[in-house]
Amino acid sequence: MIPAELVELARSSRYPLDAFLFVQRGLDHTVRALHGDGDDATQAQDPEEDEEDTSRHVSGRQLCEGIRDFAIAQYGLLAPVVLNRWNVRRSQDFGRIVFEMVDAGLMRKTDEDNVDDFNDVFDFREAFGPEAAIAKVLPPVAG
């Protein structure tokens, strides 16, 4: 079930609900890729549990790269089309979505995290171009 707070947040945002849900899933994918399986990274957590929070933390750059990989895995060559439909056209858009959820209490951050961490992480045309999508999908050719 989708939390009512998330639905309400999407109603007041330039990004649709699907973009928020996708970023949540992309965060989970990224945390699992970097730190292995564990608790869902998007759940609000007691501030007393900072040690675990820090151990499963991902930077803005890591999250952008993880979301990019997740988008390509989910949508292949259509990833840029899907993201564009959600008004996600730059890595900064991932940051804005994340920080809207942080402000709503639906995600957490460390004191060092900043929305600017998502600025210009990659060029969307290059990151989601055919070469990037094919490279992520096809195994490397043995030489």
Range with lowest mean pLDDT among 32-36, 61-65, 113-117, 138-142: 138-142
Residue with tokens 């460390």, as numbered in its chain: 110
pLDDT tens digits, 51-68: 445 578 999 999 999 999
Q: What share of the chain is helix, strand, coil (3-state, %, to 5)?
A: 65, 0, 35
Length of the chain: 143
In 3D space, the residue among 69, 70, 34, 25 whose CA is nearest the CA of residue 55 turns out to be: 34
Domain ranges of the chain: 4-137
Mean pLDDT of the chain: 87
Tokens of 80: 């840029």
113 or 141, which is more confident: 113
Q: What angle do helix axes 60-75 and 91-103 make, rounded to 10 degrees?
A: 110
Q: Determine contact, residues 29/70, Cβ cutoff 8 Å.
A: yes
pLDDT for the residue 130: 82
Judged on CB neighbours under 10 Å (0-12, 13-18, 19+), 53 is middle
In 3D space, the residue among 106, 91, 115, 109 whose CA is nearest the CA of residue 20 turns out to be: 106
Distance (Å) of CA 52 to CA 33, 43, 47, 48, 87: 16, 13, 10, 10, 33
pLDDT tens digits, 85-119: 999 999 999 999 999 999 999 999 999 999 999 99
Task: Judge whether residue 129 has pLDDT over 90.
Answer: no
